[in-house]
Every structure is written in structure tokens, then in C-alpha cells.
């Protein structure tokens, strides 16, 4: 893909570009915990968004998105969101200039193989690739973490999704062969090797695009905040669900709206599960890790209610297939992928069984991807 991108850039814009890549991400466990200031365990993967870019000596950003065969231009000083994917570039262009550094016009060619709407954060990868390239081209001197925050603000205020920091963080700070335990409050992180040569990380795509995720996502966030407000009256030190213990929560259950109580219970439990899963990883206890994944899915499905029948079906099915140690829905929910840890010599059988069963049930074939854990955003050529 990179050679053809470079060639097309020269044909289209008549000069050699800087080419960068930013990966999509998986998340092992710790779902919807990021905006509750808890923990997540993502990793960057070998599916990427590429951005080829060069200055063009004007005040205009010209973008061609090869995946959509679509060209859009905007002024570097544009401040308002539009609609669709261009918002990710508009937002990043806006936020990189908020610290007082102006940028000039650029020509941009975007492409990638992160499936869109599959819960692998193609939008975060797009913001990361574009922001990382701007940082290089204009010597802006942002750290990777600052670029992640710029991507997150873009998602909040240009795309309207009040997301946490996980996706942008993983895309920029991923490390090959490692999961990253991130504390979403302090932003301290730890790389934990995922070193199980006989096992692979396999994603199964429901082929249901998580289009509902925007509104439902923001609603979950509000419900969590409602829970915090209630508990704060008794425990003023509580700032987010991260600070809430299971005992504190259960002590006040009668005062909660039942739905809000379920949401909060899931988050409090998921943070605990993540810590247990990290311990399991450190002790090479893959079955223990897998159990946490299944428990996470149950919570996401029953208490947080961000799963769907397709995701539930895929996770349930894995319990009948040999060589699967853990499975759960991944990402925001309402569609997208499940993440599965599967014995390498069982992958063929896994793929066959899961595709056949899903096809029978839903009359469509789920795509299956075997993932490698990769480095975060990087320069490919300049
Ligand atoms: C989406 C969001 F962008 C993340 O911040 C995170 O909340 C995730 O859903 C759920 O864990 O990918």
C-alpha cells in the first residue's frame, strides 16, 4: 500500500510527501473505563491509517481519502465542524494551532486498512496519523501524549463523541509485542509483554457497524456521572467511578435508579477485573486472563448494555470451540468486533466453526483477523 500511496501522491500533487502510519487498536479488557478515569489494557495492531502529506505554500488543506474516493478542501483557520470523516482533520488542524503555532496549507492523501465501524478505532488512527505528520512537517514539538489529547478533543468537539483517551493513546504509544496498562487519571502507563507464542489474538467482525454508538455512548457517560453525583454526597473525595468501591456502591443501592446502578456496578467491577487480568498476564496465567475476558463481556452485555445479539452470539459460540481461552466484545459496542485468544494450531478450526455458525444465524460471513501487536504512530518515509 505504501508504494502505491507515494506514487499516487506524486501524480496528484506533483511532489514527494512525508509518509506516516498510525495503527488501529485492540483492547484486551477495561471497556468504557477510560472516561471513568479507570484503567484500560489496549495495544496497537498491524492495521493502519496512512497519511502522506506535503506543504503546498497556500492556506488550504487539500485532502484525498482513497478509501472513499473523496476529495475535500478546507482553510487552515476553519473552526467549525462539518459532517463526516473530514471532521477528524478539521479538529486536529484546529487544536494543533491552539497553543499559538500557526500552520500553512498542505496536500494530504489518506488511506488505510483499519476496518471502519469495526471497533478498532479507525477514527483515532486517522487523527493520530494526521496529527503526527503535522507535528513532523511543522516541527510543532508536541509529545505523543499531547497528540493523543488533541485527537480526543477532536473526537469530543468535532465528531461529538465524548470518548476517553484509550484509542488515541494506544495508536500513538503502542509497543510491539506488548499490551499497555494505562491509568486514565494519572496517564501513567506500563508495557506488559503479551508473550504466548502458541496463542494468537483473533478478532471476529460482526459486520454490524456500530453506528448507534455515538448517542448511546454519551448516554453511558452521563449515567456514570449521575452515579458519581449521588455517591459524592456521602463520600466527597469521590471524583469519578474509579474512586468508588463495591462496598460503597452496594451500601447505597436503594437510592439509585436501577439502570444507573447497573452501569456503575459494571464499571466498578471492570476496573477490578482489569487489575486481576494484569496480574494474570504477569504470571503467564492465560486461562485466568481468559476468565476475566468472559466476565467482562457478561458485564458489558447485561449491566452496561452495550452489546448486541451478534456480539453475544459470537462470544457464546467460542465456549464450544476447542482452544479458545477467552472472548469478549471489544470497543464502544453495538457492533464491531469480538476479541478472542485462540490457540494457534486451532485457528483454522475456530475460523471455520465461527463463520459457519454466524452465517447460519445471521446470513452474513464475519471477517476474521489474526492480529500482531505493533509500534504506535511512526514515519514510514520522508
Ligand atoms: C470507544 C472510545 F473511543 C474509547 O475512549 C473507549 O471508551 C471505548 O469506546 C470503550 O472502552 O472506542
Average the pLDDT over 330-351 and give the result.
Answer: 97
pLDDT at 284: 96
Digit-coded pLDDT (tens) for 67-115: 999 999 999 999 999 999 999 999 999 999 999 899 999 999 999 999 9
Based on the residue annotation, tell me whether 262 is a catalytic residue of this protein: no
User: For residue 38, which phi and psi values (nearest 5 degrees)?
Assistant: -95, -145
For β-strands 337-343 and 199-205, DSSP reports them as antiparallel
What is the C-alpha separation between 320 and 323, in angstroms, rounded? 10
Q: What distance in angstroms lies between residue 179's CA and the mean position of ligand 1's atoms?
A: 16
Digit-coded pLDDT (tens) for 127-171: 999 999 999 999 999 999 999 999 999 999 999 999 999 999 999
Which atom of ligand 1 is the closest one to the Cα of 30? 11
Mapped to the 3 state alphabet, what secondary structure does the chain carry?
A: CHHHHHHHHHHHHCCCCEEEEEEEEEECCCCCCHHHCCEECEEEEEEEEEEEEEECCCCEEEEEECCCCEEEEEECCCCCCCCCCHHHHHHHHHHHCCCCCCCCCEEEEEEECCCCCCCCCHHHHHHHHHHHHHHHHCCCCCCHHHHHHHHHHHHHHCCCCCCCCHHHHHHHHCCCCEEEEEECCCCCEEEEECCCCCEEEEEEECCCCCCCHHHHHHHHHHHHHHHHHHHHCCCCCCCCHHHCCHHHHHHCHHHCCHHHHHHHHHHHHHHHHHHHHHHHHHCCCHHHHHHHHHHHHHHHHHHCCCCCHHHHHHHHHHCCCCCEEEEEECCCCCCCEEEEEEEHHHHHHHHHHHHHHHHHHHCCCCEEEEECECCCCEEEEC
Q: What distance in angstroms lies between residue 72's CA and the mean position of ligand 1's atoms?
A: 27
Digit-coded pLDDT (tens) for 236-278: 999 999 999 999 999 999 999 999 999 999 999 999 999 999 9
Q: Are 157 and 179 in contact (CB under 8 A)?
A: no
The total of other beta-carbon atoms located within 10 Å of residue 268's CB is: 25
Mutation test of ligand 1: which of 164, 180, 213, 218 has the most ligand atoms closer than 8 Å to its C-beta? 164
Return the percentage of the chain with pLDDT > 70, whole number. 99
What is the C-alpha separation between 290 and 282, in angstroms, rounded? 14
Q: Ligand 1 — pocket residues by CB below 6 A?
A: 31-32, 34-35, 121, 163-164, 166-167, 331-332
Higher pLDDT among residues 213 and 86, named by residue: 86
For residue 358, name the pLDDT band (cuts at 50, 70, 90): very high
Residue nearest to atom 7 of ligand 1 (CA): 32
Average the pLDDT over 289-295 and give the result.
Answer: 98
Among 371, 305, 315, smallest CA distance to 338 is for 315
Query: Which residue has 491509568 as its cell numbers?
Result: 183
The pTM assigned to this predicted structure is: 0.97
For β-strands 106-112 and 60-65, DSSP reports them as parallel
Q: Are 213 and 333 in contact (CB under 8 A)?
A: yes
Which atom of ligand 1 is the closest one to the Cα of 124? 3
Q: Is the pLDDT of residue 211 over 90?
A: no
Q: Are 130 and 109 in contact (CB under 8 A)?
A: no
For residue 212, name the pLDDT band (cuts at 50, 70, 90): low
Residue 211 CB contacts under 8 Å (≥ 6 apart), including other chains: 117, 334, 335
Amino acid at each position: 500500500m505504501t508504494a502505491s500511496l507515494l506514487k499516487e501522491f506524486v501524480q496528484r500533487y506533483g511532489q514527494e510527501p512525508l509518509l506516516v502510519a498510525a495503527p488501529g487498536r485492540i483492547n484486551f479488557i477495561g471497556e468504557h473505563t477510560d472516561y471513568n478515569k479507570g484503567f484500560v489494557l489496549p495495544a496497537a495492531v498491524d492495521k493502519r491509517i496512512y497519511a502522506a502529506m506535503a506543504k503546498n505554500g497556500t492556506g488550504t488543506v487539500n485532502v484525498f481519502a482513497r478509501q472513499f474516493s473523496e476529495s475535500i478542501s478546507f482553510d487552515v483557520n476553519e473552526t467549525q465542524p462539518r459532517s463526516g470523516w473530514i471532521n477528524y482533520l478539521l479538529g486536529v488542524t484546529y487544536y494543533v494551532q491552539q497553543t499559538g503555532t500557526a500552520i500553512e496549507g498542505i496536500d494530504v492523501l489518506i488511506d488505510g486498512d483499519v476496518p471502519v465501524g469495526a471497533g478498532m478505532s479507525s477514527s483515532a488512527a486517522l487523527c493520530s496519523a494526521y496529527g503526527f505528520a503535522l507535528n513532523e512537517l511543522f516541527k510543532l514539538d508536541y509529545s505523543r501524549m499531547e497528540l493523543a489529547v488533541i485527537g480526543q478533543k477532536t473526537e469530543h468537539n468535532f465528531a461529538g463523541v465524548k470518548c476517553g483517551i484509550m484509542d488515541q493513546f494506544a495508536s500513538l504509544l503502542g509497543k510491539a509485542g506488548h499490551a499497555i496498562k494505562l491509568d486514565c487519571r494519572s496517564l501513567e502507563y506500563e508495557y506488559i509483554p503479551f508473550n504466548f507464542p502458541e496463542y494468537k489474538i483473533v478478532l471476529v467482525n460482526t459486520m454490524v457497524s456500530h453506528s448507534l454508538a455515538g448517542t448511546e455512548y454519551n448516554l453511558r457517560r452521563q449515567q456514570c456521572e449521575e452515579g458519581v453525583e449521588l455517591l459524592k454526597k456521602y463520600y466527597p473525595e469521590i471524583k469519578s467511578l474509579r474512586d468508588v468501591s463495591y462496598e460503597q456502591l452496594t451500601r447505597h443501592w436503594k437510592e439509585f435508579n436501577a439502570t444507573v446502578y447497573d452501569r456503575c456496578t459494571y464499571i466498578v467491577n471492570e476496573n477490578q477485573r482489569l487489575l486481576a487480568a494484569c496480574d494474570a498476564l504477569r504470571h503467564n496465567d492465560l486461562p485466568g486472563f481468559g476468565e476475566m475476558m468472559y466476565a467482562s463481556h457478561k458485564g458489558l452485555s447485561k449491566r452496561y448494555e452495550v452489546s448486541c445479539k451478534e456480539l453475544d452470539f459470537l462470544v457464546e459460540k467460542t465456549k464450544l470451540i476447542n482452544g479458545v481461552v477467552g472472548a469478549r466484545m471489544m470497543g464502544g459496542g453495538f457492533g464491531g468486533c469480538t476479541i478472542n485468544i485462540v490457540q494457534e494450531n486451532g485457528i483454522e478450526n475456530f475460523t471455520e466453526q465461527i463463520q459457519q455458525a454466524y452465517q447460519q444465524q445471521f446470513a452474513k460471513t464475519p471477517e476474521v483477523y489474526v492480529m500482531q501487536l505493533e509500534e504506535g504512530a511512526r514515519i514510514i518515509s520522508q
